[in-house]
Amino acid sequence: MKNAESVTFGGSGLDRAAHLRARPDKIAQLFEQGGVLPIWRGKPLLNTQTRQPIFLPHDHTVFEHAVEDAIFVGIDEGTPRFARGISKWEPESETDQVGNFSDPSEQKHPALPDSQVFAELRANMVALTPRAAELVATAKAIIEWHRSHRFCAKCGAPSVIDHAGWRRKCPTCNTHHFPRTDPVVIMLITRGNSVLMGRSPHWPEGMYSLLAGFVEPGEPIEAAVRRETFEEAGVHVGAVEYLSSQPWPFPASLMFGCHGHATSDQITIDPEEIEDAQWVTREDMLDAISGNHPTMKPARKGSIARFLIENWLADTLD
């Protein structure tokens, strides 16, 4: 797929400078020179007008709420970029929407101007520049991994951040643990003039998207496409082609976008997996994308599902 890397979070050529991670003296020097993106419970700090990420000085007062050390993200056009979680901060007023599929709430820290807020990444991802998207997606994913992997999986003792944030070390048994990325297949399943769409009961009313599922250990991507499609919708798939990938930091997946050619059209859903599935014609899909369909809402902008659907409609999958 010629335009595969133009997908949101598709990469911007960021210099991750991995060779510096094993040099704590150099990382400490860069930390004082660069900027640090604060992330509060999965929400990056954004400018309210531009919706771009805000990097603060390393000694800014907001980092008093940090749980662990900062993460070295990379070198952005000569500027060192770091990120740090500040989950210990408790806003004066909180909403019960934080962490939901749709979270429009924004939090303002008293030490920051009103033009800077912590906002949900899904709702703002399409506004980000390619470089900002790569920085934020990387930062969010690695910080979420640290948040959920604070104990050694070998001996159970508390572990600590190591290697500039790109691994954890257990001081008790000296075991190293590395960031986890979960592989997921997301499938553009077509048959003739139609595409297979499904919906989860947890999604906004009327929203449909492509089927997706985790790749199991020892399973090729193509086999995962066929298995997941049959398990969720009862549809058999023949040929499978890889199209594009997308890092998806919710919390830490890598989406493999594939085109599967259905060999059957009878749908039998698994209600434990999805709420509904249906074949949607190109004409109806165009109406849904343009907001003119009476009942169906498409996958949100910025998702690889929306990206694949739009390329299918435009005949630009090759």
Q: ∠ at Cα 308 (307, 312), nearest 5°?
A: 120
Residues 37-50: tens digit of each pLDDT: 999 999 999 999 99
Q: What is the pLDDT of residue 102?
A: 72
10 Å Cβ neighbour count for 271? 8
pLDDT tens, position by position, 129-145: 999 999 999 999 999 99
What is the average pLDDT score of the chain?
96
Other CB atoms within 10 A of residue 302 CB: 21
Between these two residues, 238 and 103, which has the higher pLDDT value?
238
User: Is there a single domain that holds both residue 79 and residue 166?
Assistant: no
Q: Is residue 262 part of a domain?
A: yes
Q: Are residues 196 and 303 in the same domain?
A: yes
Q: How far apart are CA 263 and CA 225, in angstroms?
A: 13
Shared domain check, 36 and 139: yes
- Single out the residue in 179, 195, 227 at which a domain terminates: 179
Which structure tokens are listed for 84?
């740090």
3-class SS at 32?
helix
Total structural domains within the chain: 3
**Closest alpha carbon to 300 in 44, 124, 85:** 124
Confidence at residue 300, expressed as pLDDT on a 0 to 100 scale: 94
* CB of 304 closer than 8 Å to CB of 247: no
Q: Is 318 contained in some domain?
A: no
Q: Which are the contacts of 225, defined by CB distance < 8 A and separation ≥ 6?
A: 185, 187, 237, 240, 258, 260
Q: How far apart are CA 71 and CA 73, in angstroms?
A: 6
Please tell me the predicted confidence (pLDDT) of residue 11.
86
8-state DSSP, 263? S
Which candidate, 43, 196, 60, places its Cα nearest to that of 124?
Answer: 43
Indicate if 269 and 289 belong to the same structural domain: yes
CATH assignment at residue 206: 3.90.79.10
Structural contact between residues 91 and 112, judged by C-beta atoms closer than 8 angstroms: no
Residue 167 near residue 274 (C-beta atoms within 8 A): no
**Res. 239: pLDDT tops 90:** yes
The values of phi and psi at residue 135, to 5°, are: -60, -50
The mean per-residue pLDDT over the stretch 152-166 comes to: 98
pLDDT digits (tens, 9 = 90+) for 177-210: 999 999 999 999 999 999 999 999 999 999 999 9
Arithmetic mean of pLDDT, 159-164: 98
Six-digit token string for 126: 């399409």
Question: What is the average pLDDT across 215-231?
Answer: 98
Same domain, yes or no: 55 and 122: yes
- Specify the long-range contacts of residues 48-53, CB closer than 8 Å, at least 24 apart: 48/106, 48/114, 48/115, 48/116, 48/117, 49/115, 50/127, 51/119, 51/124, 51/127, 51/128, 52/127, 52/128, 52/129, 52/132, 53/128, 53/132, 53/135, 53/136
DSSP 157-205: -B-EEEGGGTEEE-TTT--EE----EEEEEEEEEETTEEEEEE-TTSPT
pLDDT recorded at residue 92: 84
Range of the structural domain that residue 27 is part of: 4-91+100-106+114-147
- Per-residue pLDDT of 95-140, as tens digits, reads 555 556 678 999 999 999 999 999 999 999 999 999 999 999 999 9
Q: How does DSSP classify residue 107? A: B
pLDDT per residue as tens digits for the range 249-287? 999 999 999 999 999 999 999 999 999 999 999 999 999
Q: Check: pTM over 0.85? Answer yes or no.
A: yes
What are the Cα distances from residue 247, in Å, to 62, 106, 140, 181, 303? Answer: 28, 24, 11, 9, 10
**Mean pLDDT of the region 152-158:** 98
Question: Do 169 and 284 belong to one domain?
Answer: no
247 prior amide bond cis, ω within 30 = no
Does one domain contain both 165 and 217? Answer: no
